[in-house]
Amino acid sequence: MRRISFLLPFFLLIAVLSFFGAADGPDYDKDLLSPEFHAGRREALRNLMPDSTVAVFFSAPVHTRANDVMFDFHQDPNFYYLSGLREPNAVLIIFKEKQHIDTLFTNEIIFVQPRNPSDEAWDGKRYGPNGVKQHFKIASVLPGGEFRKLNIDYSKFRKVLFFPLPDDVKDDPYSKEDLFDYVAHFKTVTQKNKNNNTSILAESMAMLRQIKLPEEMELLRKAINISNQAHIELMRRLDSTMTEYQVQAFIQYHFMWAGAEACGYPSICGAGENSCILHYVTNRKPMEQNDLIVVDAGAEYHGYTADITRTLPANGKFSPEQKQIYDIVLEAQLAGIALCKKGNEFRDPHKAAVRVIKKRLKELGIIKKEEDYVKYFFHGTSHYLGLDVHDAGMYGALQPGNVITVEPGIYIPAGSDCDPKWWNIGVRIEDDILITAGEPEVLSGTVPKTTEAIELEMKK
């Protein structure tokens, strides 16, 4: 007994040393974006920054769901793109030119959460400054507390670039080294400056993020392939005895089983009247025999998200009216995809989809004047896709490396000014398209899309 108590301090020392010396970070995945990718993105941003400027990025806030329960932490996409770090309470500073700051001579500094055995016992492993230095290859890495101590004179730069500061950050009363304190400090030291700029960075980041590099495409393809397979499995499983939440559970099970960390956005599973609600996420209705269900769901893999919609007949067969509306949306979507070519304007696919929908709705007598199409198709057709489901991009001419969605829809709620036989029909078809030097590549193209192909898949 005495011998054990004599050795106890020695064991404790070994435990503490091995904790702080541990080379492994908290990430198990081997296919994350490489440190070279993130370093390259920081350099690309530096090249876009005007002379004598500094850019400051804050990690995403942690939000309370209820009482002691937090929402899943999701890193700010710009912060992730530039650093790779998926931890909260961090700040990244990128200087256009190398700077002497206290004892440092550097063009970038990241401030990160220090390691802390008791916090990590509750919330999981952290990299800590040493781990970040080893894993992420950012020139200067400091513990978060240094952000308030380091002497950075922001007034001497021509411009201080940052995104509008978050105003929904909660203070951790037990910490002086959390995001709340960093933002408060940054506000204090920059509030009198005339060189603050909160618009340039948004444009620079959009210019970078809208062109997907090969490493990003690997992850985005993985997210989309996982989602493709989940949508196909759903077609094989779906029947009208299911509820909307079972549809959601089934598709999300396939996302997670295949390795996705999350959904890129709340899954939309809207049946019957709910098919006409664009971002319906309640997902509580039992389906009925003749319902159409709009399933808009995409897996997120290492930050990159798919965004795919299919509209399915609950009972496996489209009614004649459902098929007529479906075929218009499909024709509009194909017309849109055909224009997903380099050099075309971002809105060209939308214009093509609108042309089809106007004409066909009028032919069916659902609208009397073509301009009334907006009653039934009242959203845009495309957005960029990537780290955000509605990703950053310039919305100018399409360029190789852009990934965009094409997702026209027609939604005819009950009570609409048309023959009631059309009521409660909502259809959206959404694919993810890579712009190339030649023809568009439909990344979600393996998911059946014609009414015949869907009915066939549903029989399997």
Q: Where in the sequence numbering do the catalytic residues fall?
A: 68, 279, 296, 307, 379, 383, 390, 407, 411, 428, 430
CB of 385 to ligand GLY, least distance (A): 9
Q: In the 8-state DSSP scheme, what is residue 32?
A: S
- Helix, strand, coil proportions of the chain in percent (round to 5)? 40, 20, 40
Contacts of 295 (CB under 8 A, 6+ apart): 231, 234, 247, 251, 267, 268, 269, 309, 310, 311, 312
Q: How far is CA 439 from the centre of its chain?
A: 26
How many residues bind Mn ion (CB under 5 A)? The answer is: 4
Which helix (H) or strand (E) segment is 112 a member of? strand 104-112
| Least distance CB 429 / ligand GLY (angstroms) | 11
Closest approach, Cβ 39 to Mn ion, in A, equals 31
Nearer to Mn ion, 140 or 309 (CB): 309
130 binds, among Mn ion, ligand GLY, none (CB under 5 to 8 A by kind): none
User: Which of 78, 333, 405, 444 is close enough to bind Mn ion by CB under 5 A?
Assistant: 405
CB of 404 to Mn ion, least distance (A): 9
- Cα–Cα separations (whole angstroms), residue 279 to 250, 268, 379, 456: 19, 6, 11, 28
| 432 binds ligand GLY, rule: CB under 6 A | no
Query: For residues 126 and 143, what is the distance between their CA atoms, to the nearest angstrom?
Result: 12
Residue 222-261 contact track with ligand GLY, rule CB under 6 A, x = bound: ----------------------------------------
Q: In terms of CB distance, is 335 or 429 closer to ligand GLY?
A: 429
Q: Does 307 bind Mn ion (CB under 5 A)?
A: yes
Question: Do residues 59 and 91 touch, judged by C-beta distance below 8 A?
Answer: yes
Among 80, 154, 255, 265, binds ligand GLY (CB under 6 A): 265
How near is the Cβ of 289 to Mn ion at its closest, in Å?
A: 26
Q: Which two tokens stand for residue 275?
A: 């098919």
Helix (H) or strand (E) holding 136: helix 128-136
Using rule CB under 6 A, residue 389 touches ligand GLY: yes
Out of Mn ion, ligand GLY, none, what residue 265 binds, judged by CB under 5 to 8 A for its kind, is ligand GLY
**Cα 135 from chain centroid (whole Å):** 23
- At 268, which helix (H) or strand (E)? strand 268-271
Q: Is 444 near Mn ion (CB under 5 A)?
A: no
Asked whether position 407 contacts ligand GLY by CB under 6 A, the answer is yes
With CB under 6 A as the contact rule, the residue among 430, 431, 432, 457 that binds ligand GLY is 430
The SS3 call for residue 40 is helix
Between 53 and 274, name the residue whose CB sits nearer to ligand GLY: 274
Chosen from ligand GLY, Mn ion, none, partner binding at 146 (C-beta under 5 to 8 Å by type): none
End-to-end Cα distance, the chain: 68
CB 430 to ligand GLY: min, Å: 6
C-alpha 381/C-alpha 346 separation (Å) is 10
Q: Which is nearer to Mn ion, 307 or 457 (CB)?
A: 307
Q: State how far the Cα of 246 lies from the Cα of 243, in Å rounded to an integer.
A: 5
Query: Which of 76, 177, 300, 307 forms a contact with ligand GLY (CB under 6 A)?
Result: 307
- Alpha carbon distance 114, 145 (integer Å): 9
Under the binding rule (CB under 6 A), the answer on residue 277 touching ligand GLY is no
Residue closest to ligand GLY (Cβ): 296
Query: At a CB cut-off of 8 Å and minimum separation 6, what does 31 contact?
Result: 218, 219, 222, 302
Note whether 127 binds ligand GLY by CB under 6 A.
no
Q: How many CB atoms lie within 10 A of CB 324?
A: 18
Binds Mn ion (CB under 5 A): choice among 146, 244, 296, 432: 296
Collect all residues with Cβ–Cβ distance below 8 Å to 246 and sequence separation of at least 6. Answer: none
Answer yes or no whether residue 300 interacts with ligand GLY by CB under 6 A: no
Q: Is 296 in the site for ligand GLY (CB under 6 A)?
A: yes
Q: How far is the CB of 407 from ligand GLY (least distance, A)?
A: 6
For CA atoms 176, 179, 180, 186, the dihedral sign is positive
- Interface with ligand GLY (CB under 6 A), residue total 6
To ligand GLY, the closest distance from the beta carbon of 426 in angstroms equals 13
C-alpha angle with apex 144: 143 to 146, nearest 5 degrees? 75
- Which residues are at the interface with Mn ion (CB under 5 A)? 296, 307, 405, 430
- Which residues are at the interface with ligand GLY (CB under 6 A)? 265, 296, 307, 389, 407, 430
